[in-house]
Amino acid sequence: MAEFGTTAHRLTAATESLDPPLAALDLPAMTRNAHDLVRRAGGVPIRVASKSVRCRAVLERVLAMDGFAGVMAYSLAEAIWLSRGGVSDILVGYPTALRGSLVELASDAGLVGAITVMIDDVAQLEFIAATIAGAKARAGAALPPIRICLDIDASLRVGKAHLGVRRSPIRTPDQAAALARDAVRLGFVVVGVMFYEAQIAGLPDSSPAVRVVKRRSAQELAIRRSAVVAAVRATGIELEFVNSGGTGSLEISAEDPAVTEVTAGSGLYASTLFDGYDAFNPDPAMFFALPVVRRPTRDIATLFGGGYIASGPTKKSRQPLPVEDGFALLGTEGAGEVQTPLRGPSAELLRVGDRVWLRHAKAGELLERFDRVHLVQGSSVVQTVPSYRGEGQNFG
């Protein structure tokens, strides 16, 4: 892993002519992370999770690398925007209720061929069918059916305990097969199934108990995943892909013969929530800098801005972290809306106008705060590119 102090000084040298707040991506670190994701996937293609990137220029860089194929978008509106920009294979990772986007999708054969919509409930299928009925009637029989992927619950159940995120209600092979038949009956084509094992991919190896849960979950899911895939195929459906995994579980998902592709995104930027895994050790690649604007006491330096709190359960792990040692957030203020005080021996050395580099807890969310990303090679900015926000895009 890159030595943090050296990284901070190099980023400062590269951006010294730019006023913070600013975001910077260390290109060599991101490239190393991408190659390591490919190594961990063991030859299984990686679909890039766009929510963890949120910068079209970076998505294009990664998709041009060997081992990566396709995008997992987080919004149908985003998928349409990416498709119109040239991305030819997009899986929307979450169900949608965007009526306008559904009508736009159903009215364009190019979009229909490039985008796969996620569902986990017949009610979603009925909603989509009712929403696009007018568009399909106007088009007649000229347009192909909308492509569908089934989202299968990949959580671990131990008695009444649910270990994992609350996503799909579809869990068993029979439930998956029934939903697949409903999709076909309502005029859709089922092309894939997806399993996201958040309790493995998104959980650092923080204790022996966590490691036991992750091993047990991987074993249970491998058996059930194969059974679900077999049940869907037994309905006569020819699946194009079986998607699984995340940055934290690539090698586990990729070793299952039933899996044809895996998904990763956070591992490219290596945000702080991915610092504590046994299987991989990514280089921090995405950073942001804030300027020192006041010195209220000898051991406190106050930065402008910084309240970039990550989504998820509200706790300390969702706060940004200074890159260098010797800093601590104040428990009474944390990272604030317009100011972030830091205390510690390193804070004592700062002057007004200096900058402090920090890392966000979740990868792509940082770029909802910045219009531009400065791509750094060595101690130079080699390119400045717009984030989604910088291109005027906000998908929720």
pLDDT, one tens digit per residue, over 362-387 is 999 999 999 999 999 999 999 999 99
Number of CB atoms found within 10 A of residue 210's CB: 16
The arithmetic mean of pLDDT across residues 310-321, rounded, is 88
Radius of gyration for the chain, computed over Cα atoms and rounded to the nearest angstrom: 22
As annotated, the residues of the chain forming the CATH 3.20.20.10 domain(s) are 54-264
pLDDT digits (tens, 9 = 90+) for 110-128: 999 999 999 999 999 999 9
Question: Measured between alpha carbons, how far is 116 from 149 in angstroms, rounded to an integer?
Answer: 6
Q: Give the position of tokens 């009712």.
A: 130
Contact 336, 306 (CB under 8 A): yes
Distance from C-alpha of 126 to C-alpha of 252, rounded to nearest angstrom? 35
- Region 330-351: mean pLDDT is 95
* CA distance readout (Å), 192 to 116, 209, 237: 9, 33, 9
- Taking Cα atoms as reference points, which of 143, 29, 50, 28 lies closest to residue 94? 50
- pTM attached to this predicted model: 0.92
pLDDT (0 to 100) of residue 3:
45
Higher pLDDT: 171 or 155? It is 171
Using DSSP, state whether 130 is helix, strand or coil: helix
Q: How confident is the model at residue 5 (pLDDT cuts 50, 70, 90)?
A: low
Q: Which fold has domain 1-25+267-389?
A: Lyase, Ornithine Decarboxylase; Chain A, domain 1 (2.40.37)
Tens of pLDDT, residue by residue over 142-170, are 778 999 999 998 877 777 776 667 888 89
Largest CA distance in the chain: 74
How far, CA to CA in Å, does 39 sit from each of 43, 52, 63, 352, 363? 7, 20, 16, 44, 21
The two three-digit tokens of residue 391, written as one number: 């291109």
Confidence of residue 203 (pLDDT cuts 50, 70, 90): low
* Cα→Cα distances 25→64, 139, 191, 211, Å: 18, 45, 35, 32
For residue 345, whether the previous peptide bond is cis, meaning omega lies within 30 degrees of 0, is no
Percent of the chain with pLDDT over 70: 94
Pick the residue with more confidence: 321 or 139?
321
* Structure token digits, residue 62: 């990664």
Asked whether the beta carbons of 72 and 312 are under 8 A apart, the reply is no
Question: Whose structure tokens read 């998104």?
Answer: 202
- What average pLDDT does this structure show over 354-367? 95
Closest CA to 288 of 51, 5, 11: 11
Element (H, E) at 64: none
Q: Find where tokens 């895009």 sit.
A: 393
What's the confidence (pLDDT) of residue 2? Answer: 40
Amino acid found at 234: A
How much is the pLDDT for 294? 97
Q: How far is CA 134 from the centre of its chain?
A: 34
Model confidence over 281-296: pLDDT tens digits?
A: 999 999 999 999 999 9
Q: Under CATH, to which class is 54-264 assigned?
A: alpha beta
- Determine the Cα–Cα distance for residues 265 and 34; give it in Å rounded to an integer: 9
- Of residues 332, 243, 348, the one with CA closest to residue 300: 348
245: which 2 tokens?
Answer: 């995994």
Residue 23 has pLDDT above 50, yes or no: yes
DSSP secondary structure code for residue 143 in this structure: S
Q: Of 64-78, 156-170, 179-193, which range is least confident?
A: 156-170
Residue range(s) in the chain whose domain bears CATH number 2.40.37.20: 1-25+267-389
Please count the CA atoms within 13 angstroms of the CA of 113 that sit on its side-chain side: 8
CA distance 67 to 51: 19
